[in-house]
Structure 1
Amino acid sequence: EFNIEGYPTEEFLALCIANEPEQVTLVPDDPSQPTSDHGWDFLAHGAMLAQVVARLKDRGIRVSLFCDPDAGPDMIARARETGADRIELYTGPYGSCFEDGVEAGHQLNMLASTAGLARSAGLGVNAGHDLTVDNLPALAKAIPDLKEVSIGHNLTADALVHGMAGSVRRFISALEVK
């Protein structure tokens, strides 16, 4: 499906409305930042996000909010109060420590805990950042009801070796291992 990810400037929102994606993922990064590296502070930005979420949902667009892997109950409750449909868990720390089994386990536990809080609050759970065919199976096992994953760089790099169709099949297979 078509998902547009970005910081909610007026220009970004106009782009989203003009292109009618199935989903918009809102990230807290400065528009000049090359990639996301943290989730929203829902306590500080909840009111602004609620207005943006309402505008997008009025157009029939599902909304996901980028979320830190260690967001606690208060943050998840505030994310839910914005009216968003989902959160996207920031998996960068998990991806970057995957070779260290102990730290990767710690990161997975954090992600699974935050996913559980989100589910209990009625939010769907997406995940994204530094995900590979090697680290996806453990993530999918820790969070079995993931709605979707966002993969860019590693999918493209894998496609250089396996072709795009082959790479997509590899990532789907990695998600199906439970």
Structure 2
Amino acid sequence: MLDEIAAVPTKLSVNLNAVAFLRNRRDMPWPNVVDIARLVLDAGAHGITVHPRPDQRHIRFSDVHDLAALIVSEYPEAEFNVEGYPSPDFLDLAMASKAHQVTLVPDDPSQSTSDHGWQVEKDHDLLYRAIGALHANGQRVSLFVDVRAADVLAAGGVGADRVEFYTGPFAALFERSDHVQELGQLREAAHAARQAGHNAQPGLRGLTMNAGHDLTLSNLPALKETVPDLAEVSIGHGITADALVMGFPEAVRRYLQVLS
């Protein structure tokens, strides 16, 4: 029998990649990524997420440093989450940023966006080394995983602090009202996360759960009902699309209402 878990408020981390992508279409300094970060944090968002890629096609390496400085100087209670593939260059950038959370994703540099999670057992050695280095730097590590119990359990075994469920398939099926099976897989994966052994902190059981990709005001309620103890969602494309209509502050407030 799967867990019966009390609901908790889920934190909102706003991904600014889409904002940076719009800025980079022209040789202009706007929209200013730091100014948008202030807008969403002032509206109540709990943190900021960025995913710098090697070609800097949206978030630039300089943005990572600028946003890290903003959090430290103006929003010390907010969290900074940096996502990326654990190449030496990315790990150096993530560690220098002192991001509170580093989310490791298995992206190929040519991908337009994340479209799958880690095969954790296959990539065990790479992940174990990266997680060890980030822990030594005092940073929390989340692994981007498909909604599969086996990968969730393996994430606990490799030393991750959290998992981030890749919710792209759920979101696509939700649009077709064909997501019941995916919700069942989410329940099973969440159960596995709660039961996972945690090698990084001996004696502590369970992996904290995040989620991200194609989440919207429409599909978040079903996700929250299925995983009521979801700690954090990272949302970029959906909230940016909504912000084009209602502005970022109002969009943030609407997402916070759904997540509370």
User: How far 1:136 sits from its partner (Å)?
Assistant: 0.3
Alpha-carbon distance between aligned partners in 1 of 2:112 and 2:98, rounded to the nearest angstrom: 24
Equivalent position to 2:92, from 14, 20, 23? 14
Task: Name the structure with the higher helix share.
Answer: 1
> Please, which runs of 5 or more residues in structure 1 have no aligned partner?
none
Any idea what the Cα deviations from partners look like across 1:52-84, whole Å, max 9, x if unmatched? 001001111110001111x133x3332111111
Contact map agreement 1:24 1:63 (CA 8 A) in 2: yes
Q: Given the two structures, how large is their TM-score scaled by the length of structure 1?
A: 0.93
User: How far 1:40 sits from its partner (Å)?
Assistant: 0.4
User: How far 1:11 sits from its partner (Å)?
Assistant: 0.6
2:175 maps to 1:76? no
Contact map agreement 1:50 1:81 (CA 8 A) in 2: no
Select the structure of larger CA radius of gyration. 2
Equivalent position to 2:108, from 24, 30, 54? 30
Counterpart code for 1:62: R
Equivalent position to 2:245, from 161, 167, 170? 161
RCO comparison, higher one (Cα < 8 Å, 6+): 2
User: How far 1:106 sits from its partner (Å)?
Assistant: 1.4
The corresponding residue for 1:62 is 140
Any idea what the Cα deviations from partners look like across 1:109-129, whole Å, max 9, x if unmatched? 111210110111111110000
Alpha-carbon distance between aligned partners in 1 of 2:154 and 2:124, rounded to the nearest angstrom: 6
Contact map agreement 1:155 1:168 (CA 8 A) in 2: yes
Secondary structure at the counterpart of residue 111 of structure 2: coil
Deviation >2 Å, runs of 4+: none
How many pairs were matched up?
Answer: 173
Alpha-carbon distance between aligned partners in 2 of 1:17 and 1:99, rounded to the nearest angstrom: 38
Alpha-carbon distance between aligned partners in 1 of 2:187 and 2:211, rounded to the nearest angstrom: 11
2:178 maps to 1:107? no
Give the share of equivalent positions with the same residue, in percent: 51
Alpha-carbon distance between aligned partners in 1 of 2:179 and 2:152, rounded to the nearest angstrom: 23
Equivalent position to 1:88, from 164, 179, 184? 164
Alpha-carbon distance between aligned partners in 2 of 1:167 and 1:112, rounded to the nearest angstrom: 28
Contact map agreement 1:126 1:149 (CA 8 A) in 2: yes
